[in-house]
Amino acid sequence: MSTHEELFSTPVSQNSPSDHLSGREITVLLVEDDRSLRRFLEVVLERAGYHVKSAGDGVEGMKAALSSNIDIVITDAIMPNLNGYELCRFLRETPGLSQIPIVLLSALEPVGSQRNEPIDAFLVKPVAPEGLLECLAGLLVKVR
C-alpha cells in the first residue's frame, strides 16, 4: 500500500491538538503552490486534528496571515508571486505575527545563507507525514 493510500485509509485521530490554555483548535497556515501536495498535506493535518487555512502562493499566504488567527505556518520555499523566504521575512517583521513558528519545506537541502533564514524548522520534500506532525508538535510545545 502506498503512503497516499495508507493516509486516506487511516482513521481520523480523536486526540486533536489544541491550545491547552484556551481549549481552541490549533490553526495551521499551509502555503504551497503544488495543488496535489497542498491537498495531501491538508488531509494529513486535518486528520491529525489541526484546523488548516491554505494558500496557493506567498501573496495569498501573506493575506491569510494578516486576516486569520494562525498558530503556526508551513510554507514551501519556491513559489510564484512571493516565495517562502520572502513570506518568512514578512512574518518576522510584522507585529503580531513575528513569534509564530514557521516550517519551511523545500526539495533542496539548505545551503549557505538559506540556513540563516528566519525559520524554526526546515523539512526536505518529500516530507513524511509523521515527520511533519512530530515537527509541529515540537514547535508548538516550545511556544506554549
Q: In residues, how long is the chain?
A: 144
Residue 61 located in a structural domain: yes
pTM comes to 0.84
Closest CA to 29 of 5, 2, 63: 63
Q: According to the model, what pLDDT value does residue 24 have?
A: 73
Q: Where in the sequence is the domain holding 75, given as residue range(s)?
A: 25-143
In the predicted model, what is the mean pLDDT of residues 32-61? 97
What is the rounded average pLDDT for all residues in the chain? Answer: 85
Distances (CA, A) of 110 to 29, 32, 56: 22, 18, 22
- Let me know if residue 64 belongs to a domain: yes
Is residue 71 a part of any domain in this protein? yes
Asked if the bond preceding 126 is cis, omega within 30° of 0, the reply is yes
Predicted confidence (pLDDT) per residue in 98-122, tens digit? 999 999 999 887 655 445 568 999 9
Q: What is the CATH number of the domain that holds 31?
A: 3.40.50.2300
State which amino acid sits at residue 99.
Q
Tell me what pLDDT residue 84 has.
94
Instruction: Give residues with Cβ within 8 angstroms of 93, minimum separation 6.
Output: none
Residue where the block lists cell 491550545:
19
How far is 9 from 102, CA to CA, in rounded Å?
29
> Is 34 within a domain?
yes
Domain annotation covers residue 74: yes
- 3 found inside a domain: no
Residue 138, in any domain of the structure: yes
Q: How many domains are there within the chain?
A: 1
- Checking 1-4 for CB contacts under 8 A at 24+ apart, the result is 3/128, 3/129, 4/40
The answer to whether residue 99 sits within a structural domain is yes
